[in-house]
Amino acid sequence: MRVLRFLLNNILIEESGLPPDMTVLDYLRERKRLTGSKEGCASGDCGACTVVVVSLKNGQLQYASINSCIALMGDLQGRQLITVEHLADDGKLHCSQQAMVDHHGSQCGFCTPGFVMSIFALTKNTVSIDSQHKRKSIEHYLGGNLCRCTGYRPIIDAASTALDWALAGNTDQFSENRAATIQQLQALEAEVDTTGFHRPTTLDALFQCKAQYPDAPVVAGCTDFSLEITQRLKQYPQVISLSGINELGFIEQRNGQWCIGAGCSIAALLSTLGPLNADIADMLYRYGSTQVRNSATVGGNIGNASPVGDLPPLFIALQADVVLRSAAAERVIKLESFFQDYKKTVLQADEIISEIRFDSSALDCEHSVLKIYKISKRIDDDISSVCAVFYCPNTTVKPMVLTAAFGGMAAIPKRALELERVVSASPENMQLIGDALDKDFQPISDARASAGYRITVAKNLYRKFLLELKDTQAAHRLHHLEIDHA
């Protein structure tokens, strides 16, 4: 019998026979009658189902908010799941709850448990908070929680109160029980998984599993895959998850390159590369939401081959390599040649994406410039209508050598080769630039934007890139305006 073991709040749970495609939210609401976590969208877009998962990493507890509606039960193996019902300590509200009450942060109350859990996660991650920019941190942590009633002001105030409380070093039942929780989680390690949900812990085991279940989907953070279950109502008797394979989770510098494992989460990517480049940080803070970034992986974003990205345009512009592995072999190809057509890649059935690599100089050379522009209808948690990345390895070299890649402009994330060619000769001839982009891209119209808007914006973003190179004093982006939050 294969058993899934995890802590549900402070109770050890052992489950066997759960459907492998069961979401954490359905489990909580239907099996455990813990109905505090709500279903608002079942697609990871509203945050009403937010819960916190606690993982043991290097002997420390890591608290991460996730969307339980798109998380699968098997991924809870060896972790603690904290739900809104468990925050109050013996009847005394947790600060993240009390602050919401005190600031009138709830109206209809349906989104409230999700907000409370995101604020709770914020209080548990104070090390990552820049206390000079608390409002920004709050927006980053709560950007994936939608509220239709309050207009957010009282929620921001509540989060600010809770954050101050945590920054002042206050403790709660979770910090007080830390040692015991670590012990409990350690005891849960190395367990195998529930029926049909395969969570190998080594690459070797993974390839064996793939060979055994060739039709099973291979998933990681499930932030996209789960929509097949919750939106398209598909059922999966077998699922292979990469989330247990620690050897895919790295992000490190090796031989003058940044090497990023496919299992590296977007959150880890952000915390490592964000401090090195403001544009990468800005873009990644707008990649999904905190809940999505905590689950989603670099490999997943490449593997699902969305026409938008947002990582592929960045990596393509940096001329990154992608490493594809099978049981027998490994091959390294340019990422730009990985994508073939809409949702079609060169990945073979027996392969997985294992790693992304690009030259470190892109981020640490004083003459290199990397500009990323993510254009969407909404600032937080929105898929780009256009994502443009311009990379110039050395601005002192004339004529300019530029690599440019776009998301949202074609069936695949794609390099703008014609633009690059024209730029090397006539970087400021907007007529030629425009013609080049017309040759590079024939975008489509969809729910997010029209083809006309996309191509116009693509041209304008190159113009903006030039402006930012030349006129570094003026603000050319909305979020570069100094805003006083007083």
Partner 1 sequence: MPELTHESAVKHVTGAAVYVDDLPQAVEQNYVAIGGSEIAHGSITNIDLTEVAASDGVVDVIVASDIPGHVDIGPVFSGDPLLTSDKVEFVGQAIFAVLAITQGQARRAVSKAQIQYTPQNAVLDVLVAQKENITVRPPHTMQRGDAAATLKNAEHKLSGQFFVGGQEHFYLEGQVARAEMDEDGGVIVRSSNQNPTEAQKLVAEVLGIAMHAVVVETRRMGGGFGGKETQANACCCFAALFAVRNRCAVVCRLSRRDDMTTTGKRHPFFNTYDVCFSKEGAIEGIQYELNSVCGASPDLSDAIVDRAMFHSDNAYYLPNVHITGNRYKTHTVSHTAFRGFGGPQGMLAIEAVIDEIAFALKMDPLDVRKRNFYGEQTGHVTPYYQQVTHFTVPRIVDELERSSDYRNRREAIELFNKKNTTLKKGIALTPVKFGISFTATHLNQGGAVLHLYTDGTIHLNHGGTEMGQGLFTKVAQIVSAELGIPVSDIKNSATRTDKVPNTSPTAASSGTDINGMAAYNAASTLKQRLVDHLCEVKQCDASQLGFGPDGVSIEGGESLSWAQLATSAYFARVSLSAQGFYKTPEIYYDRENARGRPFLYYANGAAVSEVVIDTLTGEYKLLVVDILHDVGNSINPAIDIGQIEGGFIQGVGWLTSEELKWDNNGRLLTDGPATYKIPAIGDAPAKFNVSLLSDSPNAENTVMRSKAVGEPPLMLAMSVWSAIRQAIASCSVGSFPCLNAPATPEEILRCLQEVAEP
Q: Which of residues 233-272 bind partner 1 (CB under 8 A)?
A: 233
d(CA 35, CA 28) in angstroms, rounded, equals 7
Within residues 157-216, the interface with partner 1 by CB under 8 A covers: none
> How far apart are CB 417 and partner 1 at their closest, in Å?
23
Within residues 366-425, the interface with partner 1 by CB under 8 A covers: 373, 375, 377-383, 385
d(CA 68, CA 72) in angstroms, rounded, equals 8
Measured distance between the N- and C-terminal CA atoms of the chain, rounded to whole angstroms = 59
If binding means CB under 8 A, how many residues of this protein chain bind partner 1? 91
Parallel, antiparallel, or unpaired for β 369-375 and 386-392? Answer: antiparallel
Decide if residue 43 touches partner 1 (CB under 8 A).
Answer: yes
Whichever of 168 and 474 has its CB closer to partner 1, that residue is 474
CB 197 within 8 A of CB 20: yes
Residue 458 Cα to chain centre, angstroms: 24
Decide if residue 478 touches partner 1 (CB under 8 A).
Answer: yes
Whichever of 22 and 71 has its CB closer to partner 1, that residue is 22
Q: Smallest Cα–Cα separation from 300: which of 370, 382, 380, 227? A: 227
CB 465 within 8 A of CB 369: no
Q: Which x/- pattern, by CB under 8 A, does the window 415-454 give for partner 1?
A: -------------------------------xxxxx--x-
Whichever of 308 and 347 has its CB closer to partner 1, that residue is 308
Whichever of 109 and 214 has its CB closer to partner 1, that residue is 109
Whichever of 149 and 432 has its CB closer to partner 1, that residue is 149
Decide if residue 224 touches partner 1 (CB under 8 A).
Answer: no
Sole window of 37-45, 175-183, 243-251, 413-421 interacting with partner 1 (rule: CB under 8 A): 37-45
d(CA 223, CA 219) in angstroms, rounded, equals 9
With tokens 């409990």, the residue in question is 184
Whichever of 414 and 459 has its CB closer to partner 1, that residue is 459
d(CA 200, CA 71) in angstroms, rounded, equals 17
- Length of the chain in residues, anyone? 486
d(CA 396, CA 307) in angstroms, rounded, equals 33
Decide if residue 142 touches partner 1 (CB under 8 A).
Answer: yes
Classify 344 as helix, strand or coil.
strand
Whichever of 97 and 181 has its CB closer to partner 1, that residue is 97
Sole window of 122-130, 263-271, 306-314, 463-471 interacting with partner 1 (rule: CB under 8 A): 463-471
d(CA 17, CA 443) in angstroms, rounded, equals 46
* Residue 188, H or E segment: helix 178-188
* Residue 256, H or E segment: none
Within residues 15-34, the interface with partner 1 by CB under 8 A covers: 29, 33-34
Decide if residue 49 touches partner 1 (CB under 8 A).
Answer: no
Binds partner 1 (CB under 8 A): choice among 54, 71, 146, 298: 146
Decide if residue 281 touches partner 1 (CB under 8 A).
Answer: no
Decide if residue 88 touches partner 1 (CB under 8 A).
Answer: yes
> How far apart are CB 149 and partner 1 at their closest, in Å?
5
Decide if residue 92 touches partner 1 (CB under 8 A).
Answer: no
* Residue 438, H or E segment: helix 430-440
Whichever of 258 and 441 has its CB closer to partner 1, that residue is 441
Whichever of 250 and 453 has its CB closer to partner 1, that residue is 453
Classify 163 as helix, strand or coil.
helix
d(CA 246, CA 30) in angstroms, rounded, equals 32
Decide if residue 307 touches partner 1 (CB under 8 A).
Answer: no
